[in-house]
Amino acid sequence: MKSVPRALLLASFAWLAGCSIFPDPKRDQVLQQERMQDDTDERKARLKAKGTLSPQEYELMALKMGWTTKSEPGLPPPPSIEELEKSVKAAETPKP
């Protein structure tokens, strides 16, 4: 008789432990939102205290804003106004 309650207790414990192993998308999303909020709060506090961004935050901001920090290798420099005007004039003149 003692083995039946023990077996039932062991089976219920295994079932409860198994449920906590499986991922829960809602719980994961809530935890991720909390971490993001904590990070944002910490960043705001540091920004208020120092008035500057860390290099990683600056690079991330530059990417989000579309800033370019260096030219891509192999790309020519942008044409000057004079070069653009010459190409427009060349395109306007009729070819024989």
Tens of pLDDT, residue by residue over 6-47, are: 777 777 766 666 656 667 788 888 889 999 888 888 877 777
Does residue 20 lie in a domain region? no
Q: Does the residue 72 lie in any domain?
A: no
- The set of residues, in sequence order, having a beta carbon less than 8 Å from that of 57 and lying 6+ positions away, is 43
Report how far apart, in Å, the C-alpha atoms of 52 and of each of 38, 47, 61, 84, 96 are.
Answer: 19, 6, 12, 40, 61
Does residue 13 lie in a domain region?
Answer: no
Residue 60 maps to a domain: yes
Is the residue at 31 inside a domain?
Answer: yes
Residue 87 located in a structural domain = no
Q: In this predicted model, what pLDDT tens digit does every residue of 51-79 receive, in sequence order? A: 777 778 778 877 777 766 565 566 667 77
pTM summary value: 0.34
CA pair distance 20, 33, nearest whole angstrom? 20
* Strand ranges (E), the chain: none
Which domain does 50 fall in, by range?
A: 25-67
Q: Please give the tally of structural domains in the chain.
A: 1
In a domain, 50, yes or no: yes
